[in-house]
Structure 1
């Protein structure tokens, strides 16, 4: 590994099988420290842009850490974005748009993927968002 995100439990950050790489769910951590905490509130979606981008960057870095020399990610196939939000929140896809934009910025058309945005009652470390990717070589 080349310094990507470190697991916070008994799992690996990403697993490669054949031509696919599956990442664990990644939260907005830097050097193991949670940088953003608390639920997403209606009317404050923009305030969570950097948290989502950091979680997505961690997921992408975890996938890239599984590449061999000379390989690259051919495509991100799917992304799951878990959003811890206040009761009654309905803009999960708007939160996930920040992650989609990040992947497009980093990978161009290779970063455009299918996705699922899911509202949850809570996330590890009180993270507002957790992101999981499946990428193809």
Structure 2
């Protein structure tokens, strides 16, 4: 039984279908015990967090988008290794926020992902991180996040 998945579901979350890549790349590459996950986008079915922060999208809504991305990335991890219990540690997270030049709250947006990972994995969810602003992101999404994960 995947205890981490059960914990995730007890928090009220369901893993989505693994999202298909939107260009010429793969969702995940494994090298030894590390998974390198491509940048995920805040898309959940028909719901898309689109636009510039804070003009089109509030920082809070963008942080929710970061959580959506993490659910998508967890689906990719489970698809790759079979069980979220095999995650040893979330090693690194890199977040990019589609923001106006005078917006400086990138860390608060990416906290949506970081706090979610801590809620799901506890100590295993602690990670290094980068939170940057970008002039534009693919499909005009508000946030994009890639990550590195250590697995058994």
| Both structures adopt the same fold (TM-score exceeding 0.5) | yes
Shift in alpha-carbon separation, 1:124–1:50, aligned structure 2, 3 A: same
Report whether the alignment pairs 1:35 with 2:45: no
> What is the TM-score when the length of structure 1 is the normalising length?
0.89
1:1-137 to 2 correspondences below 5 Å: 3-31=17-45, 35-41=48-54, 44-68=58-82, 72-137=86-151
1:91 Cα offset (Å)? 1.0
Find the aligned partners of 1:45 and 1:26 in 2 and give their Cα distance: 18
Moved more, 40-49 or 53-62: 40-49
| Structure 1, gaps ≥5 residues long | none
Q: Hey, which of these two has a bigger chunk of helix by percent?
A: 2
Runs of 4+ in 1 over 3 A off after TM superposition: 68-71
> What is the TM-score when the length of structure 2 is the normalising length?
0.80
1:11-45 C-alpha deviation (Å, 9 max, x unpaired): 111111110100000001234x5611001117931
1:53-99 C-alpha deviation (Å, 9 max, x unpaired): 10122122222321146961100000000101112111111111111
Question: Do the aligned residues in 2 keep the contact of 1:22 with 1:63 (CA within 8 Å)?
Answer: no
| Structure 2, gaps ≥5 residues long | 1-15
Q: CA RMSD in A?
A: 2.1
3-state SS in 1 of match to 2:90: strand
